[in-house]
Amino acid sequence: MYTQQVPGVNHLGQPIGDPVPDWKPPPLPPHEAMPGGTCRLEPLDPARHAAQLFAAHERDGEYRNWTYLQQGPYDTLDDYARAIERAAAGDDPQFYAVVVGPRGSGGPDSHGVAAGVAAYLRMAPAAGSIEVGHIHFSPLLQRTPAATEAMFLMMRRAFDLGYRRYEWKCDALNASSRAAAQRLGLSFEGVFRQAAVYKGRNRDTAWYAAIDREWPALQAAFEEWLDPANFAGDGRQRVRLSSLTAPLLASRG
């Protein structure tokens, strides 16, 4: 005869996961713009963004930023535009251009400059899981408040829609990406060995994630850091984001 379960243990004495009452899978993210204070994420549009992105990435004269990406670098605008067209044509990944500049955070008539790309991928509403990836920020965008805000906007939309888990994965040898994940408040979850082959070489993949119960504190940290009062007149930050997110990490690595 079935008896009432003890929380966390079934009637056979086996440990089971916490209940998720009234769980409803979230919708897929709408492929719509995400305006912010320092940037605006726009659905990737090859006709509008390809030339700007190519010019922005050309500032990386050594092609250093392409090392851990699955494709590229591209020698010509035509080659890059074709790659952008392929990326924009699919539903998953769902690509965005990060637009910055005098009106980069404005409305649909924004005249800012596309300076980077990012995407949602492996969107799994039934599991409540979504990943951010294909992040390629040009030197125009790197180490700016807009770069951080772009990641905040994508994370906020995912959790506002009801996703339970927000993932970040990268080549385990990509030290800058791993540091960025932790700075943004995503906790280290391990390394999948020999997870992929790209550009003719092995990739061990490092996994990071934030979950919904961590989001309120993370959102508060982002909002505190992005507050204009956190920046001195010369643009220097008064409080580092990492100092706000570090206490929230479940694990480091």
Per-residue model confidence as pLDDT tens digits over 103-120: 444 444 446 999 999 999
Residue 106 domain boundaries: 34-248
**Looking up tokens 């897929």, which residue turns up?**
28
Q: Where are the alpha helices (DSSP H) in 69-191?
A: 77-89, 145-161, 175-183
Say what the pLDDT of residue 235 is: 85
**28, part of any domain:** no
Residue ranges in the chain modelled with pLDDT below 50: 1-3, 103-110
Centre a 10 Å sphere on the Cβ of residue 7 and count the other Cβ atoms it contains. 7
Determine the 3-state secondary structure of 148 from DSSP: helix
**Looking up tokens 């998720």, which residue turns up?**
20
Kind and range of the H or E run holding 219: helix 215-226
**25, part of any domain:** no
Beta strands, E only, 3-93: 34-35, 40-43
Task: Give the type of residue at 250.
Answer: A
**26, part of any domain:** no
**48, part of any domain:** yes
Say what the pLDDT of residue 1 is: 41
Cα dihedral across residues 105, 107, 111, 116: positive or negative? positive
**191, part of any domain:** yes
**186, part of any domain:** yes
Residue 159: CATH number of its domain: 3.40.630.30
Say what the pLDDT of residue 4 is: 52
pTM above 0.75? yes
What is the total count of domains within the chain? Answer: 1
pLDDT tens digit sequence for 184-216 = 999 999 999 999 999 999 999 999 999 999 999
**22, part of any domain:** no
**227, part of any domain:** yes
Say what the pLDDT of residue 3 is: 46
